[in-house]
Copies of this chain bind each other. A is one copy, B any other.
Amino acid sequence: MSQKGAGVDLDKSLGYLLKEASSALRVAMEEVLRPLGMSVTHYSCLELLAQRPGLSNSELARGAFVTRQSMNVLLQTLERDGYVTRPAAAPVGKALPTRLTPRGRRSLEKATVAVRSVEVRMLSGMTGAEQSRAFGILQGMIDSLRADEGGA
Interface size on A, residues (CB 8 A): 64
Alpha-carbon separation in the docked complex, A26 to B143 (Å): 14
Q: Which of B7, B123, B146 contacts A24 (CB 8 A)?
A: B146
Taking a contact as CB atoms under 8 Å apart, the answer to whether A142 and B21 are in contact is yes
Alpha-carbon separation in the docked complex, A132 to B7 (Å): 9
A31 to chain B, nearest CB (A): 7
Q: Which of B115, B119, B145 contacts A118 (CB 8 A)?
A: B145
Taking a contact as CB atoms under 8 Å apart, the answer to whether B15 and A25 are in contact is yes
Taking a contact as CB atoms under 8 Å apart, the answer to whether A14 and B131 are in contact is yes
Alpha-carbon separation in the docked complex, A117 to B80 (Å): 45
Taking a contact as CB atoms under 8 Å apart, the answer to whether A9 and B52 are in contact is yes
Residues of B within 8 A of A58 (CB): 6
Taking a contact as CB atoms under 8 Å apart, the answer to whether B145 and A24 are in contact is yes
A67 to chain B, nearest CB (A): 12
Q: Which of B1, B9, B27, B131 contacts A149 (CB 8 A)?
A: B27
